[in-house]
Chains A and B, each alone.
Chain A
Amino acid sequence: MYQYVGLIVLFPLIGLFINGFFGRKIKNETLVGMIGSAAVGLSFLVAAGIFVEMLGMPEDGRSHVVTLFTWIAAGSFKVSAAYQIDQLSILMTLVVTGVGFLIHVYSIGYMHGDRGFWRFFTYLNLFIFAMLNLVLADNYLLMFLGWEGVGLCSYLLIGFWYDKKFPGTGITWTGDAANKAFWVNRIGDFAFMIGMFLIFREFGSLTFREVMGGAETLAVGNNTMFWITLLLFIGATGKSAQIPLFIWLPDAMAGPTPVSALIHAATMVTAGVYMVARNSALYALAPTTMMIVAIVGALTAIMAASIGIAQNDIKKVLAYSTVSQLGYMFLALGVGAFTAGIFHVMTHAFFKACLFLGSGSVIHAMHEEQDIRHMGGLKKVMPKTYWTFLISSFAIAGFPPLSGFFSKDEILWKAFSDGSLVLWIIGASAALMTAFYMFRMVTLTFEGEPRWAKDKHPHESPATMTIPLIVLAGLAILGGFVGIPAVLGGGNAIEHWLHPVFAQAHHTMALSEHSSHTTEYLMMGISVVIAVTGFWFGRRMFLADPEADKRIAAKTGFLYRLLSNKYYVDEIYNGSVVRPLVRTSESFLYRVFDVRIIDGAVNGLAKTTGWVSAMMRYVQTGVVQNYAALVVLGLVVVLGLLIFS
């Protein structure tokens, strides 16, 4: 089946062409939606076929590269359009196409009646195409094509309702939010590119295999590796919304909700995690970068979780929760737990997609209302949405035996055993906050008495929307079973599956099992206690008083304002970078340097020439007597000089 890998990428491309060129003519929404969904569904089937075939192969024989054509060649530089199928890329492909397919189906219901229906499915297919290139590429440059490609789709979809207002810091329109996303990502991409240049200079190639092969002989602590890995990681902070480049993700909620689910929660934002995991062998050589990755991840996790506590927009809460969960993934990578990071990518894709789609279902039912303070009591009117949302909330909060428990616990355990106690404490505190804000949101949205206006008539969403929710909730329950740790008697199938991919990195880092099972049980117990505590407080507080926020705000004052204003990061960036740059460009570079200095010099030269010429003109009077007089004068001067010198 390997040779058919091209099909995985081709189907979304076909879908995108059909809907892109003819979608406007196809008046039937369902047909457009089905073409878009089928394209992704077919990709999923091909990927599943390859996956099944891989299962039957020996562990070392599962990795293959399929080259399509030479993309760019100049001198010693050569890059091909080639796909690498291995345990990691096929897993990501399955998640992307699987979750992607469900979200496509959901969108048929959610986008019903939108004038840009066909455009929406075109962009979604383009996104899947780009994302598949990102995860399947066998080299950095093709990965970068996908990397920027998903950024483009994100841009197009955030600004999908281009004439809709979207308030924010320095933002008026959805298009401004789209720009912000693209620009911030580009800053990351800038670092990614420099990283690629360094890789090419160091290894003379941009294919993963050759680079990893070249890295085998390098010593740990290599300075170039530090820079390469750091630059790539800065790229990841852009795409995966980590400190300091996380600011775009919350504003990305300007797009339609399925977009938030697919791109800004389940798949695209995990690209940075995938990229670091793909380069695990390089990161293993750079312990300093690893430390930075772990610290940034942990800090992002807790910072975003704390912001999540004080948000009232259902999508904003979920957005910050995504930033926070991505922080966990980087924490895992940073302590060398690459499998745990990827495991969390997968489980997070399930429950976060479900949560976002659920929020979309709620927003749909509430006629575009997104403020959870104006909701409440929805569990009676939309039970399917409620139950799936609740299950996924338990999953993200880390309740056993749901998927989030296994993946998050694995990360916290590794943060403790291979990292440090401090990292664990930060991670555990963030987990407490997560459980709290999730159940604050669940309670305010679904429980208690309705707080919405009388003219609103919420209703359960159609089957195209609820079926994907149910499937995703099922995955949120079951998805963790592939990674049950050995200590609980599980096989940790995902660890074994991915083992060959990370073997080189593990070999370099030489991690050892050094903690006892007792400690692991203990930590696991603490995790459960944390989740339950957060749940209990979140639920009790807001069930008793839906306006508990006000009391908290009154008590904590500045701290609460700090959280609800997202630590004023946007304001700080605007004031320190954006505005000065625009102002300098306008009032100095353009108005002064270009217009006054350069053009002034040019025009000055022209004027001087003109003036000199005008003066000279007086000599040329055209009167013969004057010329004769001057000739005589000249003669006298010359003769005088000859005589007296």
Chain B
Amino acid sequence: MNANRTLNVILGIYVALIFAFVFAPIIFSMIFSFNSQRFPTIPLGEFSTEWYAKILADPDVWEAALNSLIVSTCTALIATFLGFCTAYSDFRYNFRFKGPYLALILLPPTIPLIIMALAMLAWFSKIGMSGQLYSVIIAHSVLTAPFAMAVIRLRLNQMDPDLEAAAWNLGGSEWQTMRSVIIPFCKPAIASALFLTAAVSFDEFAVSWFVSGLNKTLPVIILEIVQGNIDPQVNAIGTFVFLISMTLVVLAQVFFASRQLKSIRS
């Protein structure tokens, strides 16, 4: 009993340390974004929103933010659509080479980003599609579709396989059944996949940097600011980007967890 309690305390400290290790840099970045001093040193200067004012006044940052918004929204829609289609084809059909088919679909996230980015750049240049905003969208869709598929596939695996046939049996055509049974059943997973792919796309740097050309996204502009000199503006943008990604990931988790809870309850 006593030994158990000691162990629990030690494990609690261990977990707290891990969280501190992961989040300390981000928290410091947030603190310094409100610091009046130019260099990130302690003791801190006064509280200031100077750096926020500065980035809000910068048209380049605004453009990058808009680009990031467009890219992540379009990527989320395309990747989730592709992910849903592949997950459904896996659920519904049995065919030859299904194993290799699934492996191939799940491959992109395992390729090192820098290799992926170079390959994308080379390919897009070859077919004259590089340097456009849609190039980033295509590249990000390829990159994130496997995540969407994994999330939706998990949900479809929880479905009673008789459900679809039951809808046909009650007079539903294939399309009616898709609309009124498969999609409603997968709705939480689809929402989760949308937020997750949007978050991954919003944060992604390497591929964006290679294929975006002049249409920079937020992570790309952050690097450009850092490359020039040490500028606390980066902390302000960083805080901003972090909050947006965290919101998206949390939303994805909320949809994911609520359905898990529901399925445990029933």
The answer to whether A and B come from one shared complex is no
List chain A positions with a Cβ less than 8 A from chain B.
Answer: none
List chain B positions with a Cβ less than 8 A from chain A.
Answer: none
